[in-house]
Amino acid sequence: MQSSTLKRLLTGLSFLFIFSLSLNAQQGNAENGKKLFNTHCAACHKLDKRFVGPPLKGITKTKEREWLHLWIKDNASLIKSGDKEANAIFEEYNKIPMTPFPQLSETDIDDILAYTDDNPVGGANAAVQVDPALAAKGKGLFQTHCAACHKLEGKLVGPGLGNVSDKRSKEWLHAWIKDNAALRSTGDKDAIAIFEEYNKIPMTAFPQLSEEDIDAILAYTTAGMIKPAETTSTEAAEIPVATTKPLSTAWISYTLVLVLFIILLWLLLYSKNGFLKISAVILVLLVSAYVLFDNLMGVGLDQGYQPIQPIAFSHKIHAGDNKIDCEYCHSSAKNSKTSGIPSVNVCMNCHKSISEYTGKVASAEEKAFYDNEIHKIYDAIGWDPEKAAYIENYQVKPIKWNRIHNLPDFVYYNHSQHVTVAGQKCQTCHGPVEEMDEVYQYSPLTMRWCIDCHKETEVDLKGNDYYAKIHEQLAKERGLEKVTIADLGGKECGKCHY
Amino acid sequence: MASNKKYWKSVEELKKSSSIVEKLKQNEFVEEIPTDKFLGDKENLTASSTSRRDFLKYLGFSTAVASLAACEGPVIKSIPYVVKPDDVTPGTADFYATTMADGFDFANILVKVREGRPIKIEPNKDVSTGITNARVQASVLSLYDENRLKGPKANGKDTTWKKFDAEVVSKLNEIKNAGGKLVFLTNTCASPSIGKLIKTYGEEFGNVQHVVYDSVSESAALDAMKEMYGVRALPDYDFSKADLIVSIGADFLGDWQGGGFAPGYTKGRVPKDGKMSYHVQIESNMSLTGGNADKRIIVKPSGQINALLKLYKAVVNGISTRESSELNTLIDQIVKAGKRAVVVTGIQDKNAQLLALAINKKLQSEALDTVNTRNVRFGNDAKVKQLIADMNAGKVSALFMSNVNPVYSLPASADFKEALKKVKLSVDFTMSNDETAQVSQYVAAIPHFLESWGDVMIKKGQYSLVQPTIKPLFDTRQFQCSLLKWLGKKETFYDFLKSNWNNNILAGKSWNKALHDGVFTKEFEVPEFTSTVDVNAAAKELASIKGGKLELSVYTKAGLGDGQQANNPWLQELPDPITRTSWDNYLLISRVDAERLGLKNWTVDNGALNGDKVNISANGVSIKDIPVYIQPGQAPGSVALALGYGRTGLQKEMNVGVNAYPFADKFFHDIKIVKSPGEHEFACVQLQHTIMGREGEITRETTLAEYISKPKEEWNPKPVYSLDHQEVTEDKVDLWDKFDDSIGTKFNMSIDLATCTGCAACVVACHAENNVPVVGKHEIRVSRDMHWLRIDRYYSSDMTVEKGKEEGTFGTGEYFDEMTHPSDAPEVSFQPVMCQHCNHAPCETVCPVAATSHGRQGQNMMAYNRCIGTRYCANNCPYKVRRFNWFKYFNNDEFDYNMNNDLGRMVLNPDVVVRSRGVMEKCSLCIQKTQATILTAKKEGRPVRDGEFETACSSACPSNAIVFGDINDKSTEVSKKEEDDRTFRLLEFVGTKPNVFYHLKVKNKKEA
């Protein structure tokens, strides 16, 4: 991953080099023009598409430069002067007058026009100037300082920060990040506007960040926006899975059974040895009784049960890859009888900011699949990921999970007893859940399985004052140091059946 | 103890040779399996189209299908919260303090809530009014009543609140403009906030009156208090401060003046330093209080009045007569006890109540408290009467009724119904579509108290809060909310309540703390008052009441009370503590009167009780086909009928009994009685679960004199056995080996028969905690009740059939000479019996599949899933405490009680399995509770504290008669109790070594 990013960045850098060469030939500074465009024009204009106003790409080719200067500075007077072109545009765009920009200098306008003339659409490659090492450092800083409230794309608590350096000047950003309150108090209009827009929730000040750190963060906000080049090669998917089928041993047993069966048949039909015949019959009866018994004992056993769940929730991704503690979601396991299936609001603790899957995927379809599963949570609770807000008066749709581990009603099982008191790992009974994409019933959950564990597991009598007296009695009077659960009555019927 | 004492449960046992009793001694199950009925009919069998072969085919096929079907488990959905409330952890219980106040029962309670569902009610023991009786315990099931109103109604049709409000408000405005009168007819709500609301209405509306109406009225006592002490409230009695308690027809251990006197009373019932209280009950019908009394003087209701008059004349005026020696002894005792005596009366007459107060005043009785009065009854009979007259005269334009059911419970019900038609606007605020709702124009569905906000002042200065523990289940709205809305106020009732508390009650103290505690106590001022009442005139007036030939009085039962919760199957199935009969009310009659009128009770061959029926009439009212129950200890010349039955519009199974309210207007009525044809089938459990003829040995009691003066061995002997022709004690002979249970916890339960009043709160608490099914009237009749905990009631007397014969006092025939018959004046003992958790349990050894086994903590464990239903264990149990699931009692239309609908099943305790058909069940000593307590201690890393271990019955017991705990820890209360001299174990000589032990009852017999 990293090396490929590096590669892409290097390619990008070489492109930039070629670009910068060609840029120099242009009138005006497209670099500055881009910033100006983003702050002044982008609200109504796009480069390649009609928006509020017309698309501006290559505008100098259709309109005179002088005319453009005039129009931008004060289009109203231009229209009034009876300029045909101006009036035509005015009519075409439903008589919505464009904001005049008298504050823009000639050079500013030239810069903007330079940008509209030959810029790359979408500005994807604008980031190539970013130093990868700096961006990497910035990523770390972003995660620790900013990610609680900001994403690159889309609003969270604060605005999305992708390509923020395109919208604001470096100096402004530095000042804002270090102490936005101070910036606001200077009467900076932009700063106040942002403050108002985000419901007057002030942003944390970061005086501790050095200039270099902020540069790094800004570098990341640009670099992070580079979409991984869409690799058409479905490399991972197309590599034939190198599976060597394990040599099956089943055929040996089948042959054996067949041979035995033939021998038995022969004995019964053709042999004249009475003893052998009787033995054969007894053998057949015994074997069938065993098979029958074995089958009957399996009735109601659901080991390996792996139902398809309404959401393809992967414990592997959550507990395995992201190492989320089991009890973060199953929080009642330590307090209660039930471990608790997390309610949707628990999912939302993280998934407010994680609206798409960013792990390794083999194909775009796979990512889309995961993203869709995440959106099922939003559907349940009524979260609008675009607006980053809960939908008001939303009719919530509870998620109907399929229960996997199901003890009969006549068994009482308490999670907190095993998790809090006994300190058992979840995996003892539930198996390697962190490796399961879809959870299945790992243990048989039979009474024998419970009892076997109760017979073997030693109880740590020390360190829990409840056992202090029992420990004393056992140690002093009986000379016993080690006791199992069964010794303390863990085998009694009524401890689990009531 | 008194070895010649004969104990019996049913009059049947007193007969010389009752085949039924003989059969029950030998057989646990009365009825033979009716195989003959089926197999004996050869013709039917041969004609059947299903041959034996076919049957086997079907059997084989169905087994195969069943086992194949079992291979595929069902898919079970788990649906978590979308947004989990912060204070809910699924799988753990929360407790909320609130208050029950339905106008009849008032209690500070804690509500156990699991996953947002209230499932159990516990008493709030931090408060003196935190006492739960059977009805308070059962009220949680009334929340999940299918019969509740699910939305507002207008003129009998369902409507929306919006329309409802618009119509009512417009009519109200009309009435207001016309200067009409608005009357609030409510139950005793004792609520400061409702009081304030109604006052606000008065200010807004002008012509407003508030009439308080109690179905079971204490108007007489209230009026007497008003005249004597200037406050119209009930006095409080602390019976622990009385050495001599004289009650004239006051069932103070039952519902007299709102009840709740058991804790104080029982404090004086345990002999301490050779002293205990002496309790004399002068009454007509056998009440719970009478059953607990040391001495019962049996008189007719008019005799009670005479007795009171005599006491008054002797104690206050100093005039005594020589008529009745019994009364004269009592008078001497009262005078001697002085301020340590107290006289209470249940005679519903203001003059009688005045007399009782005057006696106590004269004695300066310490038990009487007229300062800290009780607000549990406020009803005013005169005002209710006036209201009906006003309504008839067209003086009332609008009537708001809240939580009352006058059409059912008013003696003058028909008058009220007529008068209601003349009221322009009638709104009934009620939980169910009851008799009154059916004739009201508007019916506002109100929520259950567990869904409501509110406040109550049960005792003066003691403010309690009511808080909701669940979101309203139906489209209901509180009375208070409607009132606020119709005043045009925007604020919610919660805001109103909170601001009222903050401004007027809390005086700067924390609202949240008050809400958490459920109660807030505040000091108050006592105004001076000088009484001008002429008690002698009252006595004269009282003396003018004439007795009758057959006097009928009404009473309330521990189960149904005033009948508000009549649709509650737990209460219907609760056997009455005295008659041991459920699902009915009946006319209690004495043996003498029954014989005179040719009325009989008889036991049929399946052990069930049947009886004759009668028609009664008095006062222009007649009631037909009332079953007759011959009650031992009933005063000849008196009959009694329980209130609360005969409701209409309930689920059909609960529509039982007859309505006795028409007779509730006076203390007693002189009635005419005529036998009617037909017989009645009772659901009576008194002959059931007999103990193989060992009744005489099962309960124990002694007298105070013996207890003080004689050694323990005489009145509480240990069993002795004969081994090699030597008398040895129990530890020398044992069938079983000892086992070691000295490590860890070992549970023991102590039941003090001296303080157990038989109130049956524990029975309902057990029902709720352990998902015990309701089986219905028919099943109870055939001994298939499922109560894990029963309260046996034994009658006893020194007189036995044999002794009578020897002395020649008995006449001939089946019944005996009038006054010497054992059943005419029996003593009563109560004994709660649940599984005794024997260390050497006979049930365990006979189970062929080891489904019942012993735990080291002392609990006898029952693994339901292992049980195959042989019932050997029940047969071998000497205490008959095991219950068999004859049927599937859930999701079964044959048993249409709470477990047959989604709503009713919400009350089930998720920690206890619902047993299926064909398994045995029994008391587990609430193992789910003990295990939970141990787990909490383990999680917190500390030993279990004393008092933490509780069972449903021990926690519900108002008099602390049941104590539960760890016997291996010598510092616990139960360990100390075990060392008491009064300790005995049930049928100790059987050698079962039970983990439940009892303390024998001591009766204070002054004369003996």
Same domain, B733 and B798: yes
pLDDT at A50: 75
Give the pLDDT confidence score for residue A460 in this predicted structure.
84
Q: Render pLDDT for A277-320 as a digit per residue (tens, 0 to 9).
A: 888 888 889 988 998 888 888 777 888 889 999 999 999 999 99
**Whether residue B869 has pLDDT greater than 60:** yes
The DSSP secondary structure of B461-511, one letter per residue, reads TEEEEE--SS--SSS---HHHHHHHHTT--S-HHHHHHHHIIIIISTTS-H
| Structural tokens at position A204 | 């944390």
Identify from A332, A399, A466 which residue to disrupt to test chain B contact, counting B C-beta atoms within 10 A and taking the largest count.
A466
- Residue B809 binned pLDDT confidence (cut-offs 50, 70, 90): very low
Q: Is the pLDDT of residue B283 over 70?
A: yes
- Asked if pLDDT for residue A123 goes beyond 50, the answer is no
Is the distance from CB of B190 to CB of B403 less than 8 angstroms?
A: no
Interchain CB contact of A493 with B (< 8 Å): yes
| Rg for chain B, CA atoms, rounded | 29
> Given an 8 Å threshold on Cβ–Cβ distance, is A340 in contact with B89?
yes
CATH code of residue B237: 3.40.228.10
Residue B602 lies inside a defined structural domain of this protein: yes
Average pLDDT of span B897-921: 93
Helix (H) or strand (E) holding B842: helix B842-846
A122-136, B118-132, B718-732, range with greatest mean pLDDT: B118-132
Output the CA torsion A87→A89→A94→A97 (10° steps).
Answer: -80
Chain A residues within an 8 Å CB radius of B920: none
* Tokens coding A85: 């072109």
Average pLDDT over residues B948-967: 94
Is residue B330, in this structure, part of any structural domain at all?
A: yes
The number of distinct structural domains making up chain B is 3
| Contact residues on chain B for A305, CB-CB shorter than 8 A | 73
The tally of CA atoms less than 13 A away on the side-chain side of residue A331 is 12
The pLDDT, as a whole number, for residue B805 is: 56
In the prediction, which pLDDT does B4 show? 54
Tell me if B804 is assigned to some domain: yes
With H, G, I as helix, E, B as strand and everything else as coil, classify residue B432: strand
- Among residues B667, B684, B701, which one ends one of the domains? B684
Residue B948: left if φ>0, alpha if ψ -120 to 50, beta else—which one?
Answer: alpha
Residues B668 and B797 in one domain: no
Please name the helix (run of DSSP H) or strand (run of DSSP E) that holds residue B1003, with its range, or none. strand B1001-1003
Last residue of a domain, one of B620, B651, B684: B684
pLDDT digits (tens, 9 = 90+) for B345-377: 999 999 999 999 999 999 999 999 999 999 999
pLDDT score recorded for residue B799: 60
Separation of CA B255 from chain center? 9
**Confidence bin at A18 (pLDDT 50/70/90):** very low
| Residues B696 and B760 occupy one common structural domain | yes
Q: Which of residues 139-198 of B touch A (CB under 8 A)?
A: none
**pLDDT, tens digit (0-9, with 9 covering 90-100), for A443-498:** 999 999 999 999 998 888 888 888 888 888 887 777 777 788 888 888 999 999 98
Q: Does pLDDT of A179 surpass 80?
A: yes
- Are B660 and B739 contained in the same domain? no
> Measuring CA to CA, how many Å separate B953 from each of B260, B707, B828?
17, 28, 22
Domains A2-125 and A130-223 belong to one CATH topology: yes
Q: B295: Cβ–Cβ under 8 A, 6 or more apart, which residues?
A: B278, B279, B280, B281, B1005, B1006
CATH number, domain of B582, equals: 2.40.40.20
What is the domain-level CATH number for residue B821?
3.30.70.20
Q: How far apart are CA B63 and CA B958, in angstroms?
A: 52
Considering the domain architecture, whether residues B670 and B697 belong to the same structural domain is answered as: no
**Prediction pTM value:** 0.80
Q: Is residue B503 part of a domain?
A: no
Residues forming beta bridges with residue B280, ordered by sequence position? B246, B295
**What pLDDT score does A4 carry?**
47
- B679 and B721 housed in the same domain: no
- Res. A21 pLDDT band, cuts 50 70 90: very low
Q: Please check the confidence at residue A121 and state whether its pLDDT lies above 60.
A: no
Give the nearest partner residue to A492 out of B76, B855, B942, using CB atoms: B855
Q: What is the mean pLDDT of residues B322-332?
A: 78
For the ranges A246-250, B144-148, B251-255, the lowest mean pLDDT is seen at A246-250
Q: Which among B75, B88, B89 is the top mutation candidate for probing chain A, defined by the most A β-carbons within 10 Å of its own β-carbon?
A: B89
Interchain CB distance below 8 Å, A466 and B937: yes
DSSP letters spanning A256-313: HHHHHHHHHHHHHHT---HHHHHHHHHHHHHHHHHHHHHHHHTTT--TT--PPPSS--
- Are residues B739 and B801 located together in one domain of the fold? yes
Write down the pLDDT at residue A262.
Answer: 87
Q: Which of A11-15, A59-63, A432-436, B854-858 has the lowest mean pLDDT?
A: A11-15
pLDDT of residue B53: 77
Q: Could you tell me the pLDDT band of residue B324, with boundaries at 50, 70 and 90?
A: low
3 state SS of B211: strand
Distance CA B563, CA B409 (A): 9
Return the CATH superfamily for domain A130-223.
Cytochrome c-like domain (1.10.760.10)
Q: How far is CA A304 from CA A275, A376, A445, B626, in A?
A: 44, 26, 11, 64
- Report the alpha-carbon distance of residue B345 to residue B330 in Å, rounded: 15
- By CB neighbour count within 10 A (0-12 exposed, 13-18 middle, 19+ buried), where does B72 fall? exposed
Using a pLDDT cut of 90, give the percent of chain A over it: 23
Domain spans in chain A, listed from the N-terminal domain onward: 2-125, 130-223, 253-297, 315-417, 446-498
**pLDDT at position B148 over 90:** yes
pLDDT of B586 above 90: yes
Chain B residue at shortest CA distance from A309: B77
Q: How far is CA B291 from the centre of its chain?
A: 15
A309 touches chain B (CB under 8 A): no
* Residues facing A2 on adjacent strands: none
Nearest to A337 among B91, B859, B865 (CB): B91
B632 occurs within a structural domain: yes
Out of A343, A402, A416, name the one closest to residue B80 (CB).
Answer: A343
Angle between helices B493-500 and B479-486 (to 10 degrees): 90
In a domain, B216, yes or no: no
B191 contact partners, CB below 8 Å, separation of at least 6: B101, B454, B455, B456, B457
The closest of A100, A332, A33, A306 to B88, measured between CA atoms, is A332
Count CB pairs under 8 A between chains A and B. Answer: 159
Give A223's pLDDT tier (boundaries 50, 70, 90). confident
Instruction: State yes or no: pLDDT of B884 exceeds 70.
Output: yes
B670 lies in the same domain as B750: no
The mean pLDDT value of chain B amounts to 88
* Token pair in block for residue A428: 């003892």
Inside any domain, residue B97: no
pLDDT in tens, B658-713: 999 999 988 999 999 999 998 999 998 876 555 555 556 778 888 888 888 888 88
pLDDT of B976 > 90? The answer is: yes
Least confident stretch, A109-113, B126-130, B566-570, B572-576: A109-113
Which of the four pLDDT bands, split at 50, 70 and 90, describes residue A36?
confident
Given this model, what pLDDT does residue A187 score?
81
Q: Report pLDDT digits (tens) over B467-477.
A: 999 999 999 99
d(CA A376, CA A358): 17
Mean of the per-residue pLDDT values of chain A: 80
Identify the residue with better confidence: A42 or A120. Answer: A42
| pLDDT score for A238 | 40
For the cut 50, the answer to whether the pLDDT of residue A428 exceeds it is yes
pLDDT of amino acid A43: 72
Give the number of other Cβ atoms within 10 Å of residue B597's Cβ: 16
pLDDT at B602 over 90: no
Query: Does residue B344 sit in the same domain as residue B263?
Result: yes
* Predicted local confidence at residue B28, as pLDDT: 56
Half-sphere exposure of B697 (CA within 13 A, CB side): 15
Domain identity same for B764 and B907:
yes
Query: Looking at the domain covering A2-125, what would its CATH class be?
Result: mainly alpha
Instruction: Calculate mean pLDDT across residues B847-866.
Output: 92
Q: Is residue B461 part of a domain?
A: no
Q: Which of B82, B857, B866 sits opposite A489 (nearest CB)?
A: B857
Structural domain boundaries, residue B650? 550-684
Looking at B684, B718, B747, the residue that finishes a domain is: B684
Q: What is the 3-state secondary structure (H, E, C) of B610-675?
A: EEEEEEEEECCEEEEEEEEEECCCCCCCEEEEECCCCCCCCCHHHCCCCCCHHHCCCCCEECEEEE
Which of A297, A330, A337, A461 to mutate against chain B (most B CBs within 10 Å)?
A337
For A187-219, what is each residue's pLDDT tens digit?
888 888 888 877 777 787 888 888 888 888 888
Question: Does residue B853 belong to the interface with chain A, where contact is any CB pair within 8 Å?
Answer: yes
Q: What is the pLDDT of residue A229?
A: 47
pLDDT of residue B977: 92
- Contact with chain B for residue A488, Cβ under 8 A: yes
Comparison of pLDDT for B14 and B724, the residue scoring more = B724
Q: Does any CB of chain A come closer than 8 Å to the CB of residue B526?
A: no
Question: Does the beta-carbon distance from A421 to B935 stay under 8 Å?
Answer: yes
Neighbours of B487 (CB within 10 A): 16
Backbone angles phi, psi at B307, to 5 degrees: -60, -45
Residues of A in contact with B853 (CB under 8 A): 492-494
Is residue B775 pLDDT above 50, yes or no?
yes
Q: In the predicted model, what is the mean pLDDT of residues B290-316? A: 91
Predicted confidence (pLDDT) at residue B29 exceeds the cutoff of 90: no
pLDDT at A76 over 90: no
- β-strand partners of B773: none
